[in-house]
Amino acid sequence: MAVVLVLVLIVVGSVLFHLLSPWWWTPIASNWDYIDNTIIISFWITGIVFAAVVLFMAYCVFRFRHRQGNRAAYEPENKRLEWWLMVVTAAGVTALLVPGLFVWSRFVTVPGDATEIEVVAQQWQWSFRLPGKDGKLGTSDTRDVAADNPLGIAPKDPDGQDDVVVEAADLHLPVGKPVKVLLRSIDVLHDFYIPEFRAKMDMIPGSVTYFWFTPTRTGTFQVLCAELCGQGHPLMHGVVMVDTEQDYLTWLGQQQTFAQLSTPKQTGSANQPSGKTMASALDVAAKLETLEAR
């Protein structure tokens, strides 16, 4: 009989946990509240099914447990009942699927006015590239990656010269403007993930992937890597700050373009960009070492 009690407790406990526990998603900061709504629909439908099945089971165990002289009924099948259940299930599944696909079609259709920005991942840091005055990102190739060109921007492409390069530093975005995030990696798989934005996508070396979103509130958000990328994976944090238009422009004004970064300067500072890469790579290496030392 204990099992009946436990089955009921599991249903009640799970529902209470769902409603009362402090662990829930982070406050949303993008336009993807559609996704949250789909999750809510899923919780309702699946929650009802879970409670119904387990409670029915508990009732069966309680009502039909073995007692002296009991004998089970003989019922090989009941076609009508089975068909009904199948139809109801199919309806439930459709109710989950249709809104899901609807939102997905939004997710894959990038609005025309979205600004393209690029995120470049490498073990274990994030860099960013914004289109310059021409509004276009230059082409890129992993083969072009070098000490003074850490993102592998094609040096010959005129579109790339005015691109703003943000290497291993914070990214700023203006609030309320749709962004198409182009994702690139120069070594292994990574995944650009900001829990508050809900959207994420893997980055694959050798190709460019994308997703889009519109930041809806200002603030500082932590970037996490969501695809295992080697032993530095948990340390691969970054920062995205969503600013008001004005703050954003101020920040943008302080950034350097690709052309500025790659013009040969006097010997002293020629190695600066590579020094920076090295510094951040060393930073991760140091973090790893402290971890191992612990």
235: contact with another protein by CB under 8 A: yes
Q: What are phi and psi of 220, to 5 degrees?
A: -110, 130
Please report whether residue 44 would count as binding another protein according to CB under 8 A: no
How many C-beta atoms lie closer than 10 Å to residue 241's C-beta? 16
CA 218 to CA 215: how far, in whole Å? 8
Q: Does 54 bind another protein (CB under 8 A)?
A: yes
Looking at the Cβ atoms of 214 and 252, the one nearer to another protein is: 214
User: Least CB distance from residue 179 to another protein, whole Å?
Assistant: 16
Q: Which of 66, 133, 254, 266 binds another protein (CB under 8 A)?
A: 66
Site for another protein in 124-153 (CB under 8 A): 141-143, 145, 147, 152
> Coil, strand, or helix at residue 118?
strand
| Alpha-carbon torsion, ordered 102, 201, 154, 232, to 10 deg | 170
User: Does 286 help bind another protein (rule: CB under 8 A)?
Assistant: no
User: Token match 């182009």: residue?
Assistant: 182
Which DSSP category does 137 fall into?
A: P
69 Rama sector, left if φ>0, alpha if ψ -120 to 50, beta otherwise = left
Strand partners, 184: 120
User: Among residues 171, 182, 229, 240, which is the contact residue for another protein, using CB under 8 A?
Assistant: 229
Contact between 17 and another protein by CB under 8 A: the answer reads yes
CB of 263 to another protein, least distance (A): 21
The tokens for 68 are 């002296």
Query: Which residues ranging from 244 to 273 are in contact with another protein (CB under 8 A)?
Result: none
Reduced to 3 states (helix: H, G, I; strand: E, B; else coil), residue 67 is coil
Query: Does the footprint of another protein cover residue 178 (CB under 8 A)?
Result: no
> Which of 12, 15, 16, 53 is the binder for another protein (CB under 8 A)?
53
Q: Is 5 in the site for another protein (CB under 8 A)?
A: no
CB 253, min distance to another protein, A:
28
From the list 245, 143, 194, 236, the residue with the least C-alpha distance to 32 is 194
Can you tell me which of 29, 31, 118, 123 binds another protein, judged by CB under 8 A?
123
Size of the residue set binding another protein (CB under 8 A): 109
